Structure formats: structure tokens, C-alpha cells
Amino acid sequence: MAYWLNLRRIKFFKLNGASFFELNNMVRIFDILLSSIGLIASSPLYIILILGSIMNSNSPFFRQTRVGQGKKPFTLVKFRTMRPNTVQIATHLANASAVTTLGKILRKTKIDELPQLWNVLKGEMSLVGPRPCLKNQTKLIRARQKLGVFSVRPGITGLAQIRGIDMSEPDLLAQMEAEMIHNMSIKKYFKYIFLTTMGYGRGDRIVVKEKKLNQKKL
């Protein structure tokens, strides 16, 4: 009978009472396989976006330093959704007017996340895990540090994203991520991926400050 055993925050897959694979190793195998397939399948889209960006004299990619496993920094890659001169701050603090017309479509369809498959392939991220934050998001970093969230690779999607919790709620986000890590299994790994591809959840929302100001005037 197969079952999962949590031992000092490391989960082992048991088959007939014998250790078979550590969960982390199994997840890494699936990460490599699925990210490779995803990169190959999405290559025509890359070509279209790159050609479109060249015509507009802009880079199609957005690179930003994020905090990874063990609080080690790495360079995250996404399709650009904001104007090139936008200040690099947490997404939920950004002004909605900074998002381009194409960027709105990419964010809504989650296509902007596709280049992160390269981060997954390199071993900097996993398909499932806590979303990588910026080094200046100190409140979130402290909450994650306290709950051991940095013990795993950051991910493209996860339980918090499925439930619509983003970095504007750092304490709740860290708690949800810790819950996901504690209860992770291969079944849930594929469940989170499936729900994400079906359109469940969301990325970090952008607060529309102009709307808030207008509401106060009414």
C-alpha cells in the first residue's frame, strides 16, 4: 500500500513499506519532463511575441531578481507585460496604467508565466511551489522564514494561487504556502497544475489606485 510519511519536513514515498523516492526527487523529475514539453510546445508563441517586440523596439522578456530556495537570489524570466520604464516593485503595488494592452491579455491568460519554464528546467523553480518574492518584501520574507517556506523551490503555481491569495496578504500567503508544503504529494502536485491550466486562481493582482480615488469622491 502506498502512503506518504512526513519526517522532519521531508516527505518520502513508501511502497510496500520501503523507501522508494524522496518527494523532492520525484517532483524534480516531473518538473524537468513537463517544463521541457512546455517549452517545446510553446516555441511558436515565443517566435510570434519576439517578432512583435522587435517591431516595437522592445524586449519581449522581463528579468527580475527574486528570492529563491534557501533565500538564494535568482533571475526570474517572464514575458513583458508592463512598460519598459516601470519601477521594479511588487506587482500588487504597481499602477494599472503601467500594464500594456498586450500585457493585459498575457496576464489574464497566464501566458506571461511561460518563460519561467526555463527557470524550472534550470532547477531554480518548480512548477508547484510558493511564488518567488522580491528581496525588498521584508514582511513576506520574515513570515516565510518563520514557517520554513524557503526550504523548497519557489513555483509557478500553488495552493495560494488557486485560492486567489497573493502577496498583498503576506501573513496569510505564508500560512497557505506552509500548509501546501506540509501536505504536498504527487497527486496534489498534478492537481495544482491541472487547476491552473483550467483557469483557476490568479496571479498577483494590480491595485487600481485611480479607481479607489474615484470611489472616495463619490
The DSSP string of the chain is -EEEEEETTEEEEEETTEEEEEHHHHHHHHHHHHHHHHHHHTHHHHHHHHHHHHHTT--SEEEEEEE-GGG-EEEEEEE--B-TT-----GGGS-GGGB-HHHHHHHHHTGGGTTHHHHHHHTS-EEESPPPB-TT-HHHHHHHHHHTGGGS--EEE-HHHHTT--TTSHHHHHHHHHHHHHT--HHHHHHHHHHHHTT-S--PPPP-HHHHHHHHH-
Compute the average pLDDT of residues 93-119: 79
Q: Given this model, what pLDDT does residue 51 score?
A: 79
Q: What average pLDDT does this structure show over 3-30? A: 54
Cell numbers 500585457 correspond to 103
What is the Cα 202 distance to its own chain's centre?
10
Share of the chain above pLDDT 70, in %: 72
- Better-predicted residue by pLDDT, 122 or 83: 122
pLDDT in tens, 118-157: 999 999 999 999 999 999 999 999 999 999 999 999 999 9
**Confidence (pLDDT) at 214:** 37
User: Of residues 55 and 194, which shows the higher confidence score?
Assistant: 194
The vertex-39 CA angle with 66 and 67, nearest 5°, equals 10
Give 178's pLDDT tier (boundaries 50, 70, 90): very high
- Mean pLDDT in residue range 79-95: 66
Over residues 194-213, mean pLDDT: 63
d(CA 161, CA 163): 5
Residue-range domain boundaries for the chain: 25-217
pLDDT (tens digit per residue) in 38-71: 999 999 988 887 777 666 657 788 899 999 999 9
Q: How far is 35 from 21, CA to CA, in rounded Å?
A: 20
81 vs 168, residue with greater confidence: 168
pLDDT mean over 186-200:
91
